[in-house]
């Protein structure tokens, strides 16, 4: 009798498990089945005009723990309900240069809560350009895209796509706003830079296409950005109006190549930039986002792209400056112009109520035909069906621990970082650094007469994580290494201490952390404040003085933009890691000590310093 009850209980458990498993969203190859098409068509017919308009908007969601009565959570749910929103963009709070990252479970639980309260399933998107580690802790961290370009291996980009998709889908994110398809041919580009795979259109296209294939195989939608190309601009479109000044032929031969490759690879969405391109749109009052010639004629008709056309954030300065009156009416006008140009999805409007009602009133007045709205909404619903949202919307919290940060994924990310390290120049007097063992403790700062190695870490803010892994790796190898953390606020005050240490050191390592950051203001002497991918004046002066004192004993490592060497042509030993993530710090240290081979090659030209393809190849010796 007891065994019979045990078997009955086991059967109930198995059945309940299998039934509940069917309620969870499952990832598979991105594709719309006939059943999914029918679901999209049936759903569209049931929607009111107000509900259809809402499907075309995406708002920001900050991934953090929120009580159900938290005013922010209540407001978010109210927005989703009131405006019938069709999608959300997962990000995290920020405090200046600091991103307040969350943990995987917090993000997944928040997404489940929002999905549960929405009438229609939400597409959850994210800017996971370096995988979920862009926004979350405890996940696989990858270096910037330019590091992949330095490896020269599209197969790495494909596996990158697969791993990012697997982890993203486990958290409830179905759509990544990546890959960056921009060809970064402008060394002064402040916002693309290391986010791009490189400057060669064919190589960028190969990397973009490979990433798309890998991601879609694991069930994640992809987005190529920023159409028609943001790589040859010198302005951050978050702050001001960026201009693409190439000729039509140049745009065809350079900028459009990766986008054509992305379309051929099956990319799900293309994000349109808030840039001007006179060769494509002569009206100075229009950016690409609001240009029928760029979106409707070039992208949809000429390039034959039939997927989702997505705006860049509608709150960005490059767009809002074209509507100087501001407020609800300006947001409404911007939304109408974007839809009339051919965009399907409007991301992060500066005034949601104004944008929503502006678009709604445009349809009611006949300025925009409802059939035009239906066209976009059907594509959005089919996209939802393509990732399984027509069948289920909740993610299985129990699966997070088995799918996120798998040991093989972590090992692969380290492999990419190691393969990307590029030795651009050396004088044969500094490298490799010598492993001298360690002592129990060492001071970060402090005046001493002699040090075998002095490391100067130049960063935007010494409170950031930049350099922390680098310091630990150095201390595990060099007895008595002296470390200086320097940012623009304290560079002048630290100059004397740094110079004294450098003057007596056997060797000097200068680690420069310079990565593209949206909306970052940098003041350079003789110029107005603005975003720049360059050292601020005081750290630049400090680096200059170090080179004047110990140029032949110094190695400079760029943990970010490789272009910094342009301003310091006297550098005799130069290495590029392309990224400030900890695995790139570890990879660079191993390369400096010749523990791993040097195989990377520059995917961009450093003007006046080194051409694309430069890379001194060396075998490991330790």
pLDDT tens track for 175-185: 999 999 999 99
Q: What angle do CA 423, 190, 321 make, to 5 degrees?
A: 170
pTM flag (> 0.95) = no
> For residues 160 and 208, is the Cβ–Cβ distance under 8 A?
no
Predicted local confidence at residue 239, as pLDDT: 58
Closest of 269, 93, 100, 88 to residue 171, by C-alpha: 88
CB contact set of 423 (below 8 Å; sequence gap of 6+)? 431, 574, 575, 591, 598, 600, 615, 616, 618
Task: Give catalytic status of residue 34 as yes or no.
Answer: no
Question: What is the C-alpha separation between 404 and 13, in angstroms, rounded?
Answer: 26
Q: What is the pLDDT of residue 522?
A: 53
pLDDT at 21: 39
Number of Cα atoms under 13 Å in the Cβ half of residue 8: 5
- Residues 296 and 375: their CA atoms lie apart, in Å, by 13
The pLDDT value recorded for residue 9 is 40
Question: pLDDT, tens digit, for every residue of 438-450?
Answer: 654 445 554 445 6
Share of the chain above pLDDT 70, in %: 90
Grouping H, G, I as helix, E, B as strand and the rest as coil, residue 126 is: strand
Provide the percentage of residues in the chain whose pLDDT is more than 90: 81
Per the CB < 8 A criterion, the answer to whether 227 and 271 are in contact is yes
Q: Which of 182, 255, 268, 312 is catalytic?
A: 312
Chain-centroid distance of CA 553 in Å reads 35
Instruction: Please give the pLDDT value at position 603.
Output: 98
Say whether 238 is catalytic.
yes
Residue whose entry in the numeric block shows the structure tokens 């000590």: 593
CB 131, CB 404: distance < 8 Å: no
Statement: residue 434 has pLDDT above 70: yes
Predicted confidence band of residue 171 (pLDDT cuts 50, 70, 90):
very high
Sort strands 98-99 and 346-347 into parallel, antiparallel or unpaired.
unpaired
Candidates 458, 427, 412; CA nearest to 561 is 458
pLDDT at residue 532, rounded to an integer:
61
Q: Assign 457 to helix, strand or coil.
A: strand
Q: Which of 238, 255, 268, 337 is catalytic?
A: 238
The H or E element containing residue 207 is helix 201-217
The pLDDT value given to residue 221 = 98
Q: What phi, psi does 455 have (nearest 5°)?
A: -115, 125
Does residue 562 have a pLDDT over 80? yes
What's the pLDDT at 530?
46
Nearby residues of 69 by Cβ (< 8 Å), 6 or more positions away:
none
Extract the tokens encoding 289.
Answer: 């986002």
Spatial distance between the Cα atoms of 432 and 429, rounded to a whole number of angstroms:
9
pLDDT (0 to 100) of residue 93: 85
Distance in Å from the first CA to the final CA of the chain: 68
Structural domains in the chain?
Answer: 25-399 (3.20.20.300), 421-592 (3.40.50)
Task: Give 225's contacts (C-beta < 8 A, 6+ positions apart).
Answer: 177, 178, 179, 180, 181, 182, 270, 271, 273, 312
Q: Is the pLDDT of residue 622 over 70?
A: yes
Q: CB of 579 within 8 A of CB of 516?
A: no
Q: What would the pLDDT profile of 36-45 be if each residue is shown by its tens digit?
A: 999 999 999 9
Q: How far apart are CA 228 and CA 270, in angstroms?
A: 10
The 8-class DSSP code of residue 255 comes to I
In angstroms, the CA 541 to CA 167 distance is 43
- Within 8 A by CB and 6+ apart from 306, the residues are 300
pLDDT at 4 exceeding the cut of 90: no
* Cβ-contact 169, 124 below 8 angstroms: no
Q: What is the pLDDT of residues 86-126, one digit of tens each?
A: 999 999 888 766 788 989 999 999 999 999 999 999 999 99
CA distance 388 to 164: 18
Task: Show the beta-strand stretches assigned E in 492-621.
Answer: 507-512, 554-558, 574-576
Work out the number of other CB atoms within 10 angstroms of the CB of residue 590.
20
Mean pLDDT, range 67-90, rounded to an integer: 95
Interval 212-225 mean pLDDT: 98
Q: How buried is residue 198: exposed, middle or buried, by Cβ count under 10 Å (0-12/13-18/19+)?
A: buried
| Model pLDDT for residues 263-275, shown as the tens digit of each residue | 999 999 999 999 9
Could you say which DSSP state residue 476 is in?
A: T
- Pick from 61-70, 326-335, 473-482: least confident: 326-335
pLDDT at site 449: 54
Task: Record the tokens describing residue 562, joined without a space.
Answer: 């490789």
**What tens digit of pLDDT does each residue of 563-613 get?**
999 999 999 999 999 999 999 999 999 999 999 999 999 999 999 999 999
Mean pLDDT in the chain?
91
How deeply is 435 buried, as exposed, middle or buried, from its count of CB atoms within 10 A (0-12, 13-18, 19+)?
A: middle
Which residues, including other chains, have CB under 8 Å from residue 444's CB and lie 6 or more apart? 471, 482, 483, 484, 485
What is the C-alpha separation between 280 and 277, in angstroms, rounded?
A: 5
Which pLDDT score, from 0 to 100, does residue 380 have?
Answer: 98
């Amino acid at each position: 009798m007891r065994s019979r009850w045990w078997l009955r209980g086991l059967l109930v458990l198995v059945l309940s498990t299998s039934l509940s498993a069917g309620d969870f969203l499952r990832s598979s190859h991105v594709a719309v089945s006939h059943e999914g098409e029918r679901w999209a068509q049936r759903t569209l017919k049931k929607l009111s005009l107000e509900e259809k308009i809402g499907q075309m908007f995406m708002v920001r969601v900050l991934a953090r723990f929120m009580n159900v009565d938290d005013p922010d959570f209540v407001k978010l749910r109210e927005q989703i309900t009131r405006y019938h929103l069709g999608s959300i963009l997962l990000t995290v709070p920020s405090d200046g240069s600091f991103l307040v990252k969350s943990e995987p479970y917090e993000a997944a639980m928040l997404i489940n809560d929002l999905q549960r309260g929405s009438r229609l399933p939400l597409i959850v998107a994210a800017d996971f350009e370096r995988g979920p580690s862009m926004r979350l802790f405890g996940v696989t961290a990858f270096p910037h895209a330019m590091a992949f370009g330095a490896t020269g291996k599209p197969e790495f980009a494909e596996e990158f796509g697969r791993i990012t998709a697997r982890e993203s889908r486990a958290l409830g994110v179905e759509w990544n706003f990546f890959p960056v398809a921009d060809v970064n041919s402008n060394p002064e580009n402040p916002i693309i830079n290391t986010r791009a795979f490189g400057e060669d259109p064919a190589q960028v296209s190969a990397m973009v296409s490979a990433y798309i294939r890998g991601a879609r195989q694991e069930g994640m939608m992809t987005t190529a950005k920023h159409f028609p190309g943001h790589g040859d601009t010198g302005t951050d479109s978050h702050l001001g109006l960026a201009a693409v000044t190439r000729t039509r032929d140049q745009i065809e031969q350079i900028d459009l190549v990766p986008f054509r490759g992305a379309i051929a690879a099956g990319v799900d969405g293309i994000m349109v930039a808030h840039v001007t391109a006179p060769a494509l749109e002569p009206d100075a009052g229009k950016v690409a986002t609001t240009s029928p010639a760029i979106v409707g004629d070039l992208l949809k008709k000429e390039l034959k792209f039939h997927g989702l056309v997505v705006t860049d954030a509608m709150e960005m300065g490059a767009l809002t400056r074209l509507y100087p009156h501001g407020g609800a009416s300006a947001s409404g006008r911007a939304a109408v112009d974007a839809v009339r140009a051919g965009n399907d999805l409007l991301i992060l409007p500066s005034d949601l109520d104004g944008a929503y009602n502006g678009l709604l009133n445009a349809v009611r007045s006949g300025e925009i035909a409802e059939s035009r709205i239906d066209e976009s909404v059907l594509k959005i619903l089919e996209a939802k069906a393509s990732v399984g949202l027509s069948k289920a919307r909740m993610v299985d919290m129990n699966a997070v621990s088995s799918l996120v940060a798998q040991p093989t994924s972590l090992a692969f990310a380290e492999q990419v970082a190691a393969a990307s390290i590029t030795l651009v120049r050396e004088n044969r007097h500094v490298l490799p650094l010598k492993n001298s063992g360690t002592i129990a403790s060492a001071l970060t700062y402090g005046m001493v007469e002699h040090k075998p190695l002095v490391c100067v870490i130049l960063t935007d803010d010494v409170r950031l994580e930049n350099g922390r892994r680098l310091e630990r790796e150095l201390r595990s190898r060099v007895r008595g290494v002296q470390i200086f953390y320097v940012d623009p606020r304290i560079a002048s005050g630290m100059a004397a201490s740094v110079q004294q240490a450098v003057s007596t050191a056997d060797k000097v390592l200068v680690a420069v952390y310079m990565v593209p950051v949206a909306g970052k203001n940098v003041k350079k002497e003789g110029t107005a404040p603005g975003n720049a991918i360059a050292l601020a004046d005081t750290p630049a002066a400090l680096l200059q003085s170090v080179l004047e004192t110990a140029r032949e004993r110094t190695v400079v490592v760029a943990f970010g933009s490789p272009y910094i060497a342009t301003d310091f042509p006297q550098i005799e030993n130069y290495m590029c890691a392309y990224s400030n993530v900890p695995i790139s710090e570890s990879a660079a240290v191993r390369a400096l000590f010749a523990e791993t081979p040097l195989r990377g090659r520059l995917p961009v030209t450093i003007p006046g310093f080194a051409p694309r393809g430069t890379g001194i190849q060396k075998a490991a010796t330790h």
